[in-house]
Amino acid sequence: MNLVTLIGRLTADPELKFFSSGTAISKGTIAIDRSYKKDNQTVTDFIPVEVWGKQAEYFSTCFQKGYLIAVSGSLHIDRYVDSDGNNRNFAKIVVHKLMRLNIPKGNGLDTSGVDNGNSTLSGSSDSSADVDNSNDATNNTSTTNDPQANLTACIDDEEIPF
């Protein structure tokens, strides 16, 4: 099983690009502190992440440098030969789900009216956005962030105790 889940901060705004086929790809880097047992020291790892499809557009639009995020995906190792003929490996996480955990204070953004909690692409209450790599233009997803939007249809006035 190839499953990786990471929590860290974006080191820069995600970069969005489109292939000639129209498929979107967004790339970023997550900074994650790793502790050493010896002397309680920490070192920061910088992990490249790659997001595809509609979720890539969401990632590049709704996530910015400094955001604390969680990603879940698979580890991919790209192998190539450099210009000197040396074999090289490049590790990255191809994201299947992502979640914004918070927005840093003092980042210059007007956060009045912005949900500072978990945001989703699908609007589901599980606070994660599933990857859709199908590039299907007819696949419309809701972007509402209000999980209580449809509750009024489910509540009978006689059931309210006041």
pLDDT score at 53: 96
Distances from the Cα of 15 to the Cαs of 11, 42, 49, 140, 147, in angstroms? 12, 28, 11, 23, 29
Question: In the structure encoding, which two tokens stand for residue 37, read together?
Answer: 């047992």
Residues of the chain above pLDDT 90, percent: 57
- In angstroms, the CA 142 to CA 121 distance is 7
> What topology does CATH give the domain 4-159?
OB fold (Dihydrolipoamide Acetyltransferase, E2P) (2.40.50)
Q: What single DSSP character describes residue 125? A: T
Confidence band (pLDDT; 50, 70, 90) for 41?
confident
pLDDT tens for each residue of 52-91: 999 999 999 999 999 999 999 999 999 999 999 999 999 9
pTM: 0.63
Question: In the structure encoding, which two tokens stand for residue 96, read together?
Answer: 């299947």
pLDDT tens for each residue of 93-112: 999 999 999 876 665 554 44
